[in-house]
Amino acid sequence: MSLNIAIIGAGSVYTPEIIEGFANSREKLPVSKLTIMDINPKRLDIMFDFLNRYKKFHGLEFEIVKTTDLVEAVKGQDFVLTQIRVGGNQARINDEKIPLKYGVIGQETTGPGGYMKALRTIPAILEIAKAVEKYNPEAWLINYANPTGILAEAVRNYTNTKFIALCAGGMRPRTWVDWALGVDYKDVKYDFVGLNHMNFAYNIRVNGRKITKEEFDKVADIHETVEPTLIKELNALPSLYCQYYFHRNKKFNELNEAQNTRGEIVLNLEKEIYEALSDPNQHDKPEILKNRGGGGYSELALDALSAIYNDEDMWIVANVKNERAIEFLPYDASVETPCVLNQNGITPLVQNNIPEGVYGLVSGVKNYESLVVKAAVEGDYGKALLAMVAHPLVGDYDIAKPMLDEMLLANKEYIHPKLIETLEQKELVHK
């Protein structure tokens, strides 16, 4: 049996990493056809030509088909991978810059920036999910576009698509334990509580043995973004993104004083990457691609594909419907937690003995996330405002209201039109 796979958003510079993954997994994943789809024809053409050279570089023989049509892309596929960025990096730059004007952290997936990325991306991911549901209901939709946890809640609550939402960050604590203790990361498991980019790994085990406090402290000492003293008190390893909550003043000052936002840096970098990919003599991944960052997603996605295709039980941290996995969060909320994945689907594992220092922060961010999903789907300005006020990095109506209005207007071509209509009506009444 052979595999048909589609990539939506294939013009992304992350796509070559997936081809490399196919080469490393060719025995487990016998791909016969790859369909690449993007709404940007220029980027699609560049990637199509490069991928044909790159597959030969790796000795791969499957067919590659390109399309700008969503229905054509999802029909006949076993798996559909999504890595979309609605609005591109220019929209990301607005997400990063506008909040800074109001004294709030501007970041791609956290705070008001992640909020606006969700408002832009939820309509697009639902369009893709509904196309899969209608034209190819047996296919698996595997997403690692951000904010993946919020997108998971939208897809699971508004469609019946066979769906998995991934983020490499949920598996990163395995790497930290590997680095600190010199063990094989594949032997590391843990309990895990929280949401995408707002989570904590605890009760860490190596080959079933719980690590000692001394060993945990060694892992805490190498954490890249959060003060180790706090990590040791929590007795849990926080997501890298928790720095924006635990060190918010420091991070705000760093972002506010930076000459360029990360989005501006990436936008310029990607111009060079596409130039390199366009070179007909470029057969391997260009060196400059290493500067893009954010890798590791394709390895996780292809491991998940293999678990489903080969019906192998896989322990994986993923974004799923909570049900009863995390007792203090709503049943139908999306959470990031350990699961077992195989051909039958993905099953969250119940998490016990949750560290007491994380409840409030996780609950607050979850409240905001669920409101964002409803605002994006319904075009409800009231819920959009409540979501902005509810976010732990905002929490002030006098800041939230003008910031939200400015960000909505900056994103009007990508979000639910009712949000803009309501905003304009309110402005007319105010005048």
Catalytic residue numbers read 241
Q: How far apart are the first and last CA of the chain?
A: 65
- Phi and psi at 303, nearest 5°, equal -65, -40
Convert 305-316 to b/e letters by CB count within 10 Å (16 or more is b).
bbbbbeeeebeb
**Which residues have a Cβ under 8 Å from the Cβ of 126 and sit 6 or more positions away?**
154, 155, 158, 159, 377
Query: In 102-171, which ranges are continuous DSSP H helix?
Result: 111-135, 148-158
Distance CA 132, CA 124 (A): 13
8 A C-beta contact, residue 232 and residue 217: yes
Alpha-carbon distances, residue 50 vs 15, 154, 165, 248, 286 (angstroms): 10, 34, 27, 41, 11
Nearest to 111, CA basis, from 124, 123, 92, 95: 95
